[in-house]
Structure 1
Amino acid sequence: MRKNPDIWMKWTPANGLNQHGIQTRILKRGIELLEVGGKVVYSTCSINPIENEAVIHRVLAEFDGAVELVDATSSLPGLKFSPGMESWLVASRNLEFYNTFEEVDEKWKTTIRPQMFPPKAEDREKYHLNRCIRILPHQQNTGAFFVAVLRKIKELNTKDDSKQATEMECDANDQSKKRENEDNLPHNQRKKRRKEIYREDPFVFFKEEEVVWKDIQSFYKISDSFDSKCLLTRCLVGKKKNIYLTSDAVRNLVVTNQSTIKFINTGVKAFVRCDNKNMKCAFRIANDGLDSIFPYIGDDRKVYIPKDDLITLLLNDNPQKSPPIITLSEVVQKQVKDLSLGSCVLIYREDSKDDKTPLVIHISGWRGATSLRCYMDKHSTVHLLRLLGGDISKYDINKFQRAKDDECENDEHCEETDEKEETEKDDEKCENDAKSGAENLVKQSS
C-alpha cells in the first residue's frame, strides 16, 4: 500500500478474486515440475487470503496428500511475522461478505468460486495453514509479504494426464506416418503445407518513388544520404497517419519474415500527420525519432533557442495559448522571421566554460502564424525544466491532496446550499406568517 499509493483509490475485492485462479495455476505447474522430495516457495506481496491461504488450501486439497505444507519458521530467526489464517470471509465486488459458497448471491457465483472459501472447522488440522508466514508492514517497517513452503512427498495422481498424454502421442505418431507417406510421393503430388499467417496490420516500407517522401524531403531539406527505404507505415491504402524509422537490418528481417513471424511493433515514430491548410508538408517531426533524423535535416528548419525562451515555451504547453513570437528574444525572432509555417527543430546548447560536455537539447517545435510552441509530453517537460532550472510548481501537484481539496470544496458547496435552502425556508415562513397576521387583522376590523 505504501509502495503503490494508487491502490487506495483503485482497489476492490474483485482484484483478489481475479488473481486466485492465475496464482493457483502457477503454483500447480511449479509442483508438477518438482521431483519427489523437492520444495517450492509460494510468495506474494499481498495480504489478501484469497490470493494466499485460499490458493494453498486449494492446491493441498486437489493434490490430496501428495504435497505437504512445511513449517519454515525455524529458518527465519529474528523475523517478525504472523501465522497463516485458517478462516476468512470472501467478499464480493460490493463488499458483501460470505462465510460459505451456499450464501453467495447468484449474480456473484461467476466470480466467487467454492475453492476460495476456507476449510471446514473439522478439516483445519489436516492442512496446517497456520504454517504459512504473514509478514505485515507494521511488524518491522517493510512491505507486506506472504510466504508458504510446500514439499512434494509423492508422485501426483496423473491418471487423467497420462491418458491425455497417450492420446497426444498417438496423434503425433499418426501425423508422423502421414508426413512420411506424403514425403514418399513425387514432388508434384505433395500437398502444400499451409503456414500460419498472423493477421496484423502490414508493415509497408517506402519505395524509391514514394510520393509522400518527396514532400517531406523537400520541406525539411533532408539530405540524399538518408535511406528512405527504412521508413514504413502501417497502412497499405488511405492516408498514412504515422511514419516509422527502422535500421536497414531490421527492415530486411521484417520484409523476409513478415508471413511467418508475428511482428507487433517495430521502429521509432519519425513523422506524424498534421493536416493544416497553410502547411506545405502534411507531416510534422516526432520527438521519438528526432535524434535519428536530426543529422539529415537541413538548417532551414532548425531554430537555435536561448535558455530563457526554451523555459517559456515549456511552461506554456497550451496549444491555444502559445507564446507570441514578439515576446521571445530577438535571436529567436530573427531566425523565425522568414521561416515558413509548420514543424521545425528547436535546439538548445548550453554554454560550457569548462571541460564538461555541454547540455544539448533537440525538441520538435511548431512555427505558427504569430506564435512558436514545442511538442513535449508532461513528464518530459518536467524533466527538461529540472535540467534547465525552471519552475516546476505548475506540474508538481499531489493528486491525493488535490482529491482531498476537491472533496472539501464539494462539502463546502453542500453546506452553502443547505444554508441557502434553510434561509429560503425561513423567509417563506416569515412571509406566510405575515400574510396570516394581515388576514387576521382584516377579519377583526370587519
Structure 2
Amino acid sequence: MGRGRRHRGTSKRNQIEKSKENVQRPLKSDASFDSNFQKPISSNLDFEEYYKEQRIVKAKEWDSFMEILRKPLPAAFRVNSNGQFCDDLRLKLENDFMESLQAEAVESGESEAIKPLPWYPKNLAWHSNFSRKEIRKNQTLERFHEFLKLETEVGNMTRQESVSMVPPLFLDVHPDHFVLDMCAAPGSKTFQLLEIIHESSEPGSLPNGMVVANDVDYKRCNLLIHQTKRTCTTNLMVTNNEGQHFPNCKTKEASDTNHQSIDQLLFDRVLCDVPCSGDGTLRKAPDIWRRWNSGSGNGLHSLQVVLAMRGLSVLKVGGRMIYSTCSMNPIEDEAVVAEILRRCGCSVELVDVSHKLPELIRRPGLKKWKVHDRGGWYRSYKDVPKSQRDGVLKSMFPSGKSDKESTGGGDRYGDMTSISSDESAEEVCDLPLERCMRILPHDQNTGGFFIAVLHKVSPLPEFQEKINQRRNFSTRKNINSCEAVSGTVVTKPEEGAEEDTILEEVVSENGFEHPENDNISEVGIVELAQKLDDMGVRREVPAMQGKWKGLYPVVFLRDETVINGIKTFYGIKDESFPLYGHLVTRNSDISSHGNVKRIYYVSKAVKDVLELNFSVGKPLKISSVGLKMFEKQSAKECEANCCSFRITSEGLPVILPYMTKQILYATMADFKNLLQQKSIKFLDFIHPQIGEKAAELALGSCVMVLVDDTQLGSEPVKVNSSTIAIGCWKGKASLTVMVTTLDCHQLIQRLSDRSKEVENAENCFKTAETD
C-alpha cells in the first residue's frame, strides 16, 4: 500500500512539473527578494512595469493606486438575508457598533469605524476600516471581534471580501433557476447564491431551483461543504468534477412531458469565477508581491477560456453567465472574454450592466493591451517568434488573429477587430469590451476584480462544440489541477475562511471516506494531510483515481419501515411534506446490518438531477447533497418507539412547519433556562404546565418552540421563518437540549438582546405617558 501511494504522489508531481514548463518565466526583479524574509515585501518592479505598460490606470492615478495596494485590506462581512436574526444583527450593527467603535476609528485617522456598503441591497453587507489583523489583535475591538466570530460560526454572517460579493448580484437569479457555480470553493459566493434563491421564494416553501457547486479539488470541496452547511438548504448539490469537463448529463431520448423529471442538465445561470493569478488580492495576500510574474496570467489563459466555454455549453439559451477573476491582468480578463465572443459568434453577447448598482464604482474594460513574455513585449501575434508561440497564443491579443488572418479577407464573425497597418502600433479590439467591469482598489478601498456578464442568445455553433472537445482533451493533458499551473500556486482566497478549520467529522459526514476494501491508504485523506502539515511539508495528497475511489455514492432511501416510522412519530403528512423519493443517504451511512445512520432531504429539483445522473451512468461525482435531516440514535429509549431517528439542528427549520407531534411550547423564561442549564427535570420548569406537557411526549427526539406568555396553552401555534425552536431529547424524567454549546451561547445572546429592546421600548413608552 505504501509503495502505491508513493507512485501516485510522484506521478502527480511529475504532471505538475510538466504543466510548469508550459509557462514562460520572466526575469526576476531585485524587488522580489529581501534578505530579511520576515519583513513584508510590498513592491515588485516587474509588477509595476507590467501594469504601467498596460495602462490600467491613468498616470496621475498611479501613486494612489500603488499606495492603496500596500495597505492591508479592510475587513468586510455580510449578514445572511435568510437568517432568523437578520434584522436583529443589522440593528445591532447600526445602533451599537457604529457608535461604540467610533472612538477607535478617530484614533486611527478614519471617519467611520464600520459602514454598510452603499451598493449592496438592504444594508446587509458591511465594510470595516480595520483590517482582519487589527480586529483580531486590538483589545478595544475584542467585543466586535467576538461578535463577528460567533455569528459567522453559527451561520448568521459571512466574512467575505466586498468585491467578491459583486458577481452574484449581476447574475439576476430567480427562485426557480438552476444555477451552476463552476469553480465554487471556498463557497462564499455559493452561500450568497443560495440566499438569493431562498430569499425570493415564497415564505414557508422550498424553492423550485437549485445550486450545483462544483470544484475540481476534493479537499477544497470539504471547505465548500463546511461553508454552505450553514445555509440549512435542501437545494444544494456539491460536485467534484473538472470544470472544463463538467459532465453533459443528457438521456438519449427525451422523457415524456409530464414535468416530473428532466432529460438534460442545463442551467439558467452559470457563475464562472475562474482560478487566476490573483493579484487583485495583493492587499489580503501580500506574499503575492514576492512571487508575482507575468507568466502566471499567460499560463492560465487557456484554462480560463475552456472553463468559460464549458460554462456556456451547459447554459440554457436565454441564460446568463458571469465570467470573473480576482486578477487585474488583461490576459486573464479582456483577452479571455474577447476569445469567448470570437468563438461563439452571434450566439453570445456581452451585456451592458452599467446602470445596475450605480453606487458601485467600476471602470469599463480595456480595448487594447499588450502581451509580455520572457522575450519582451509584443503588440501583435505576428511579432511573436515561432519559438515563443507555445507560450504566447494569438487569443491573448486584442485581435485574436495570426499574421495571415489579419492580412486576409475578413473573418467569419464579421469585421469585429481592426489592426493598424503600422507594425509598431498596438492592436485595438472592436468588440464591446467596455461593457466589462474593472473594479480597482483605490476607487472604493477594496481589492481588485474583473466581471463580464454574458447572455446566450442562441445555441453555440456546432463546429465550436467539436473544437471545444478537442481543446478540452488537450487541456486535460497539460493541466493537472486548477490550483497549480504556472509555477505559482493559484488560489481563490476571497472569503476569509480558513481551510485548516475543516474537521474530520465534516469530511466523513459527507461521504469523503475511503471504502473499507480500498488499498489506497491506511488512513483517511484528512489525517494524511494533517500529518504532512505537522511535518511542515506542502500538502501533496495522492490524487484519487477511478469513479468512486475515496467518495461514497449517493443512494435513495427506499426503506418504507424507516420512512413510515418517521412520518408517524413526528406527525408528518406526506401530501404537505413528501418524504418518499426525497430522502437519500450515502452508502457509507449504511451498516453491515443494513441500518441507516444519516438521512438527507433533497428538494424536488435536486431529486430530479439525482435521478437523471443515475440514469446516464453517474457522471457527476457528488461530494454532498441536500440537507442532513435525521440521524440515528442508539439510546435504549428508541427501542420502545417506532422511530429511532432524531431531527438534526440544521434540518429543524425546514421540517418544523410540517410537524404535528413531539412539539413542546415554552415561554422565554423556561426557554432561556433550558439553554443555560442544558438539562431540566420536568418538575423544575418555571411554568408547571410546560413540565406536564413534556412528560406526556413520547420518549426520544422532540422540539421546543419559543412562544409569548399569551400563547402558552393555546397550542398548536403556527410557526414561520421567525419562529425560534431547538431540538431536545425527552428522557424518562428530564428534557435535554440537543444543540451545541456554541449554538446555545449564540441563542442566549440573541434572546438577551431582544429582551433589552423590549425593556427599552417599554421604558420609553412609560416616559412618554408620564410626560
TM-score range, shorter chain: 0.3 to 0.5
Higher relative contact order (CA 8 A, sep 6+): 2
Higher helix share: 1
- Greater Rg, structure 1 or structure 2? 1
TM-score using structure 1 length = 0.43
TM-score using structure 2 length = 0.28
